[in-house]
Amino acid sequence: MEMPSLTIGDRTARLPIIQGGMAVRISMAPLATAVASAGGIGVIAGSGLGVSELAQEVRRARAATDGVIGVNVMVAVRKFADLVKAAIAEGVDIVIAGAGFSRDVFDWTREAGVPMVPIVGSERVARLAQKFGAAAVIVEGREAGGHLGTDESVRDLLPRIVDAVDVPVIAAGNIVTGADIRDMLAMGASGVQMGSRFAATVESSASDEFKRMYVAATDDDVIIVKSPVGLPGRALRNPFTDALARGDYPAIESCVACLKACGKDYCIIDKLQKAQTGDVIDGLVFAGQSVTRIHDLPTVRELIDRLRSEFQAATQEAAS
């Protein structure tokens, strides 16, 4: 059995796979283009980018593929509105938003005819999103990487949210293989979002050092850190996170007020940028719980082909 397609609003991808929008500068045009061209939904992460930089990335992706391209922008960033509107103006297909809830974004996307997909962590927020016009919702469990909005597993949340809303529900968190995709669809999901697995691909804009940490990660390396955003975050242990655990917060050398509200314990944009460019000693390496099951660095096309084969095998095994 082949994977089904995924329709969100009036956009349809051949495969039920959304590539996670990983900031800062991990999910850029090269990764999003490769995923969209392979049949999934490619996503550019807008958080941490300037408005003109995000617009340029969307243009690059739009020029390179006729597949489905989305953007993911955290509601918590101060330039949220400008980033979303710039992406819409460049012809993005889908807007995804998490780390907060914005009512206004539903108006902007509705006026532009662009499907809006919020990331949710409860039935209440999922129902509220549907009320405001969400074309789908992404339910992200505690297993996900980066900022976490719930302490519940996606396997516990998913069935409840599927029952709570009438729009497509996308499962996110600890999804690495085609068998994982089959499990999520069997539980009622219309599709899945995969972040960490796509971060460890050739087309990802993460540094080689960042990718090597993913491939080498063990269970002891995956930890929860405090984020200035006001949410916990899942990351890989390194000297920087050890310092955080001791309460040894680095001084903020310069502040550009990138967040609407910031705990100012440290500059998260600076630390994410360090890791993306190769400093995995003093940088912050976000990763999902699934990182310990990642052992190679395939191209996106190789990964998608593998996922499809694994999905077929898991489906046949379940039917036998």
Q: Smallest Cα–Cα separation from 21: which of 158, 117, 162, 132?
A: 117
Residues 200 and 145 in one domain: yes
Residues 85 and 220 in one domain: no
Q: Which tokens is 260 given? A: 């609407």
Say which DSSP state 266 is in.
Answer: S
Residues 12 and 108 in one domain: yes
Domain range for 218 is: 208-290
Within a domain: 319: no
Mean pLDDT of 101-105: 93
Give the list of residues 6+ apart from residue 180 with CB closer than 8 angstroms, or none: 174, 192
Q: Smallest Cα–Cα separation from 250: which of 237, 259, 241, 260?
A: 241
Determine which of 4-8, 78-82, 88-92, 131-135 has the lowest per-residue pLDDT on average.
78-82
How many domains in the chain?
2
Within a domain: 30: yes
In tens, the pLDDT along 265-298 reads 878 888 899 999 999 999 999 999 999 999 999 9
Residues 217 and 135 in one domain: no
Residues 146 and 102 in one domain: yes
Q: Are 65 and 41 in contact (CB under 8 A)?
A: no
Q: Smallest Cα–Cα separation from 40: which of 305, 320, 314, 316?
A: 305
Within a domain: 304: no
In tens, the pLDDT along 32-73 reads 999 999 999 999 999 989 999 999 999 999 999 999 999 999
